Structure 1
Amino acid sequence: MQGLVVGAPRSGAGKTTLMLALLAAFRRRGLRVGAAKSGPDYIDPAFHEAASARPSGNLDSWAMPPRLLESRAAAAGQGLDLLLVESAMGLFDGAGAEPGRQGSAADLAARFGLPVLLLLDVSGQSQTAAALARGFATHRDGVRLAGVVLNRVASPRHRAGAAEAIGAIGLPVLGALPRDAALSLPERHLGLVQAREQQELPALLERLATLAETALDLDAILAAAAPLPATPALSGGLPGAPALPPPGQRIALADDAAFSFLYPHVAEGWRAAGATLHPFSPLADEPPPPGCDACWLPGGYPELHAGRLAAAGRFLDGLRRFAEDHPVHGECGGYMLLGQGLEDASGQRHAMAGLLSHATSFARRRMNLGYRQAVLLAEGPLGRAGTVLRGHEFHYATVTEAGDDAPLATLSDARGQALGAGGGQRGRVSGSFFHAIAQQEA
């Protein structure tokens, strides 16, 4: 299996569009091509899967212990001719202080020896792009550029100016994508509008595959890929390290447009431990399925569907009955649903499940974004008291009523700065804005 990292200087440079074009074009060629996303991201992997027809997951050097990271890389590349890893934010952007565990795509490139295909948005510049490319090529030992793709090129003259300057420093330009608003994917407050909500996505993927065939040197890009090194986990010599313990053996899993943010590696780990997942839709007014012994409410967009959720009496009553005898855990959006009420963007308050005593608002917004380390304060669906987890927060909702529940965990950021207690726990019910990625090795 060969691999490449697709990186850029920043978010919004067009990495996901390039990824989809490459995946669709190589799949059209008959290659077994797949993808992974660097860092915490629920949304982009679903687009990868749509383009490649193969599951896509996450590789996170900060949140995942080394053995888990290696086992996830092995799983991501299993049976493939080519694995493309999409960078989050800029190539070198991370948060941790420990070298090699900062959460950046550059960590993955260095750890696994994968060359980087650098995407440069050259709108508003030309030859200056060469200075950026030179900086990326020399910034970090162990990170090697395979070549450059230019994005948002306005004309043949524009392309030539940037490409000649980059070629003069010894880096190949392996393609150029035009400035075309029709190639953009629609966005909302947490990123791209989810793949499951975009009916035009198959047609867009066909256009992107054709664009890649005409605008990119696919043969050179494929030739630039490198094999992953033969580490014990990647060679099958180490068992996959656990991510999160399953909260039960039969897990009722909320799964619809309001609740969809579950990491694939978490679900796979639960199944590997013998658990089964039983999806249900709160938006369709479905209660947790009978016979389940735990309920998991993932993050998502409850703020966009608050009225429908408040009116879903069969779901809410069923969830309350379920919580009398079984553990229920909510992450981010699920945590918002478990509270007393949720204000939508207009400021209208909608009654929620009332299983925890806090209330939240999407009208009074404040962005919360960053890695988090959590130490559990009591036993619950996430593990025993004292368990150390790593994950992240990304939400705009605020807590308007703190409530009086016992806190779920103490939190710190990626550099160890204490953030105080977070989340809530009452009886068998728990939740927080914290998205767990992996339990840390003792």
Structure 2
Amino acid sequence: MAYRGCAAASREPIVTRGLIISAPRSGSGKTTVTLGLLAALRGRGVAVTAAKAGPDYIDTAFHAAASGKPGLNLDSWAMPPALIDALIADATRDAELLLVEGAMGLFDGIDAPPGRSGAAADLAARLGLPVLLVIDVSGASQSHAALLRGFSTHDPAVRIAGVVLNRVGSERHLRMVRDATAALGLPILGAIPRDAPPALPERHLGLVQAEEHPALEAALSALGAHIADHLDLDAVRALAAPMGAAAGGLDGLALPPPGQRIALARDAAFSFVYPHVMAAWRRAGAELLPFSPLADEAPPGAADSCWLPGGYPELHAGRLAASATFLDGLRRFAATRPVHGECGGHMVLGEVLEDAGGERHAMAGLLGHSTSFARRRMNLGYRQARLLSDGVLGSAGTMLRGHEFHYATVTQPGGNDPLAMLSDGEGRRIGPAGGRRGRVSGSFFHAIALAETTA
């Protein structure tokens, strides 16, 4: 429960309400509806915030731009329940409404104990939040009644409370879907026509990043107006359920900071850092010192550690290879202080990065491996990592949960000592992964949270 107003004696409690926005599958329009609702409701003066169910850096940045509040991830597999509670409590402190956008389909997760599959349905059940289901109705009409009946009864703990019909072809098409589904008693809160405004541009890991969008504010404003025209905003707000007051803090639950003053690479090539991780570092007293490798900046000398996040270095390999100040400064930094790279950062720490056209670019050479974006293979999934030595991620034996999502391949392993032993989300052993040399470490593994047990 949050409070409104400045004077303590006159502050009125804000009862935060919550709603899950999900769909039967990817590509149904969840992100379009979520961003449009955030922009439209914010335009009406509603204090609205958003979260993404599952591991996703890109959508949370768009959520932040549309809502004016920091982005947030909630992951029922990677995060201990107590961490989820603490993150929600922090995110909703000054919010009237929390919209949680699902990933893939509502019930899509992994084979895991109940409530820990990573599916958006886990959050709906655990938090008691109703679901607004976005359905792409193109290519069918009456058959959507069967789909809705199935989703409504599949899990008694998950309540489908309303529906948005997306990509409606005509008034006749809309009438046929409405008539077929009327007996189910599910309110249809909106119908979005097939000739909607163009979608936000995409690339190989999802949407083009919010910070790279040439006219993001105008695009979100137009999307908000479009959603306001085709959805009943008052009905959507009424659908949301009051959320109980969550307690607890992030201490002992989130990743510890890799140093007290962290040089953080931050630009279009290095942007994949989870908001809750940075928030936890700051709460632990760490100072983040951003710098831009694309602007040929070296890690700040005042820092005592350097973190190279994931992102899109494969799209900027030539520019990075020509950034002598950055690369030389990074090498000098690594001689005396720890440097860690996640995914794209790990690629830049290696010897060579091959771009999509097959051109090879020299990288920092602090680790011995080489990677290629020309020889692509998708790597996607939850990961549990057991650290093999002490380092910035924790002491040897520490168990971390996170994920991988990349298309790059390792073309030369380079003889690095492995950073961690990996298993997938269902416990199947993957084997040694990542690399470490002296004070330098890296991996394609993105860390989300500490696991609940250590080995």
TM bucket normalised to smaller: over 0.9
Deviation at 1:74, TM superposition (A): 1.5
Give the distance between the partners of 1:197 and 1:237, measured in 2 at CA.
Answer: 36
Give the distance between the partners of 2:135 and 2:438, measured in 1 at CA.
Answer: 52
**C-alpha distance after superposition, 1:60-94 (max 9, x if no partner):** 00000111111112222221111000001111111
Structure 2 residue corresponding to 1:430, chosen from 428, 431, 441: 441
Give the distance between the partners of 1:194 and 1:181, measured in 2 at CA.
Answer: 21
Q: Does 1:29 align with 2:44?
A: yes
Give the distance between the partners of 1:41 and 1:71, measured in 2 at CA.
Answer: 19
> Residue type matched to 1:67 in 2?
A
Q: Name the TM-score, length of structure 1 as normaliser.
A: 0.97
Question: Could you tell me which residue of structure 1 aligns to residue 81 of structure 2?
Answer: 66
**C-alpha distance after superposition, 1:131-178 (max 9, x if no partner):** 111111111121001110000111111111112222221111110111
Deviation at 1:396, TM superposition (A): 0.2
Instruction: Name the SS of the counterpart of 2:376 in structure 1.
Output: coil
Instruction: Name the SS of the counterpart of 1:207 in structure 2.
Output: helix
Deviation at 1:240, TM superposition (A): 4.7
Question: Could you tell me which residue of structure 1 aligns to residue 221 of structure 2?
Answer: 206
Structure 1 residue corresponding to 2:294, chosen from 274, 279, 283: 283
Q: Does 1:5 align with 2:44?
A: no
CA gap of 1:173–1:245, structure 2 versus 1, over 3 A, is same
The answer to whether the 8 A contact 1:71-1:240 is kept is no
Q: Does 1:330 align with 2:341?
A: yes
Give the distance between the partners of 2:432 and 2:84, measured in 1 at CA.
Answer: 28
The answer to whether the 8 A contact 2:309-2:344 is kept is yes
The answer to whether the 8 A contact 2:388-2:418 is kept is yes
Q: Name the TM-score, length of structure 2 as normaliser.
A: 0.95
Give the distance between the partners of 2:250 and 2:65, measured in 1 at CA.
Answer: 29
**C-alpha distance after superposition, 1:325-380 (max 9, x if no partner):** 10000000000000000000000100000000000000000000000000000011
Within 5 Å, give how 1:18-417 maps onto structure 2: 18-180=33-195, 182-230=197-245, 234=246, 236-237=247-248, 240-417=251-428
> Residue type matched to 2:204 in 1?
H
CA gap of 1:140–1:431, structure 2 versus 1, over 3 A, is same
Q: CA RMSD in A?
A: 1.0
Give the distance between the partners of 2:376 and 2:93, measured in 1 at CA.
Answer: 42
**C-alpha distance after superposition, 1:90-134 (max 9, x if no partner):** 111111411100101000000100000000000101111111111
Q: Quote the sequence identity (%).
A: 67
Gaps of 5+ in 1: none
> Residue type matched to 1:370 in 2?
G
Gaps of 5+ in 2: 1-15
The answer to whether the 8 A contact 2:401-2:447 is kept is yes
The answer to whether the 8 A contact 1:166-1:173 is kept is no
Deviation at 1:237, TM superposition (A): 4.8
Count of matched residue positions in the alignment of Structure 1 and Structure 2: 438
> Residue type matched to 1:190 in 2?
L
CA gap of 1:335–1:237, structure 2 versus 1, over 3 A, is closer
Write out the 4+ residue segments of structure 1 that deviate beyond 6 Å after TM superposition: none
The answer to whether the 8 A contact 1:422-1:432 is kept is yes
